[in-house]
A and B are shown apart, each in its own frame.
Chain A
Amino acid sequence: MTKRREKVVLPLVAVFLGFLLGSIIVLATGRSPLAMFAAMIKGFSGIDIINDVPINTRHIGEFIIQAMPIILTGLAFAFASRTGLFSIGAEGQLMVGALAATTVALLVQAPKAIHLPLVILSSAAAGALWGAIPGFLKARFNVHEVTVSIMMNYIALHLNNFVILNIFGSVDRVKTAFFPESALLKSPFLQSLTRGSRLNWGFIPVVVALVIFSFVINKTTFGYSLRAVGYNKEAARYAGMKVNRNIVLSMMIAGAFAGLAGSVITVGTFNFGRALPSAEGYGFDGIAVALVGGNQASGILFAGMLFGMLKAAQPLMQSQGIPREIAGIIQASIVLFVAMQYGIKLLLEKFKKKESVSAEVDRV
């Protein structure tokens, strides 16, 4: 197998094994895997393969809503990862991004053409700032970025809750007043296309982020030096690259992607700022997306859509009596099988060898 093909085939095998395991568990609990797959297909396409009913386009919209934030947090994890950094901070960066979006949406009054871009840019900037802190501590004092970025998640959660509860809180205090129309990604046109789903223009920043990711990493000198730091820090330093600067910048750009997810959720899926009882898991889903997507923009797009589909299918599965945890199990086992890809590779090669040996035997 060529290296290129390997990159595509191995995750696909992992996905296949994940679904296989999920089906076995569904079977073991006495339910039909067919119903599970029917729910999943309906979850992203709206097509009902069991009952003869017209396509429900609402599911397509909600599927995209589920996939958007985890594609962005996936990009965040992957970007840092390409520079050899293991950042767990996407969750917190997303929260400060959401908080910045809330602040700008509520406090700034401007026409939509100015207000909305300002909301989106502010969320990216806040995420970048939140990412810069572990980046700086890593570069300057060699404090491990895992520890710092995890702790920054908690600081973000409580900062968000403090500000929402004490400054912006409206009547019930756990959510803010509704944002003005000029700050929203919402679109009645997209909603009417998808039978009143929450589909909005949020996919535009997501696509832009995917393009930027791919371009910066693959086509620029800066991206090349980031990857060089990722492969071998000392060699990069020896080659005259600014390793410390690259670490901070990489964490900032990663943070900006995650911060962006904050505004996609806050002014797209919702139209108000929220106090959160606990983290909502977008950051950790992003890690899974990046791992399955092989830290490549195209891979992350597909992995994000795959996991978005699993999330979107949850209500349909539950309604059929299939526990929603099954979707979680499938997601986790896909990640597990991706992590075991060297084992899968060995197995595949062994299998191939046996085939060619037996073919030779036949020839003799």
Chain B
Amino acid sequence: MKKALFALLIVALVAVPAFAQFKVGLVTDVGGIDDRSFNQGTWEGILRFAQENKLPKANYKYLQSSAEADYVPNLSTFADEALNLIIAPGFLFEKAMGDVAVNYPTRKFLIIDAVVSKPNVVSAVFAEHEGSFLVGVAAALKAKADGKNVLGFIGGMKFPLIEKFQAGFEQGVKAVDGSLRVLVDYAGDFAAPDKGQALAQKQFNAGAYIIFHAAGGTGNGMIKEAKERSQKGDVRWAIGVDKDQYADGVYGTKSAVLTSMMKRVDVAAYEVSKMTLQGKFPGGQVMVFSLANDGVGIPATNPNLSADIVAKVKEFATRIKSGALKVSEVPAK
């Protein structure tokens, strides 16, 4: 009996695949894994990876930071624990990630939205301007179909990463009709729905028909304003960002969210985890997630867009993918 048990144990030990030992960790900024934005997206990618590979619960975890000063100790804690892959989303991690990667040259890291040129760091960046171009096209076509000529953009903070969204959106709109106007405002904050709503009121009052936001939690205030106006019969539209935000705009049987600019941080986290597990960690490389590899784009289903508009958007997407159409990353002055 004892021998049989022992044999069973040996079989079990051998049968447990190597990847059961694989450990992956996420260090978030102050937002946490329920921020409806990139922390959440990254965590979802890790969850998908963990489920597919049946990782035990202790093998995938996250550390939430309380302040910027926590980034380095949090990354170092995971490095001390010898996790196989340590992921941090957001360009605010750039300096901390660089320092920790030097301190722990044998550990593997993934940073999202920034480039850290170290042999043990993979950098994942997104072509936000390409995806934003497509929602710009969709917005312009929708506005023209309904006889409107003003659109809006609300950004979180005015720095180059967010300006890529603005630039792409504006170019998409102009590609459809150069006479359409785009109002642009920056809230100065990524977590202030009240500011988002106030800016949306301002733009809607100035005649904006559709507003695209790249403002994280601040943008939720804009979606709320679009929803409230539409409910009262004054139809206005919102365009979501990062994830498919259709559900956030639901009122009655409709939604005020026209479409969303999806930025698949979950794909980045998932893909790099998978590659690391397979022993193909692309250290030192910059991985670009663009339209070409479905890293950005509009959701698969868009109940609020007509088939015509979707077809037209797809046409532009093909032209960008083939390189026939170049989208600039910086807004025109």
Contact = CB atoms under 8 A, between A and B. Distances in A.
A172 interface: yes
Nearest to A161: B188
A269 to B, nearest CB: 5
B6 interface: no
Contacts of A161: 188
A350 to B, nearest CB: 40
A66 B63 CA distance: 17
Interface residue range, chain B = 20 to 34
Interface stretch (A117-125, A141-149, A247-255, A310-318): A310-318
Nearest to A58: B76
Chain B: interface secondary structure?
A: helix
Interface in A149-208: 161, 165, 169, 171-175, 196-198
Contacts of B327: none
Interface residue range, chain A = 35 or more
Contacts of A314: 66, 70
Contacts of B76: 58, 62, 196-197
B80 A172 contact: no
B146 interface: no
A265 interface: yes
A41 B77 CA distance: 15
A280 B77 contact: no
Contacts of B157: 165, 174, 275
B64 interface: yes
Nearest to B76: A58
B210 to A, nearest CB: 27
A62 B73 contact: yes
A138 B148 CA distance: 56
B159 A173 contact: yes
B21 interface: no
Contact of A324 (B58, B66, B103): B66
A197 B80 CA distance: 12
B67 A280 contact: yes
A171 B67 contact: no
Nearest to B159: A173
B160 A171 contact: yes
B73 A312 contact: yes
B248 interface: no
B81 interface: yes
Interface in B52-97: 58, 61-64, 66-70, 72-74, 76-78, 80-81, 91-92, 94-95
Interface of A: 56, 58, 62, 65-66, 161, 165, 169, 171-175, 196-198, 265, 269-270, 272, 274-275, 277-278, 280-281, 311-312, 314-316, 318-319, 321, 324
Interface of B: 30, 58, 61-64, 66-70, 72-74, 76-78, 80-81, 91-92, 94-95, 103, 157-161, 188-191
25 contacts: A58-B80, A65-B69, A65-B73, A165-B158, A165-B159, A169-B159, A172-B94, A173-B158, A174-B92, A196-B76, A198-B72, A270-B68, A277-B30, A277-B189, A277-B190, A280-B68, A281-B67, A315-B63, A315-B73, A315-B74, A318-B63, A319-B61, A319-B63, A319-B81, A321-B58
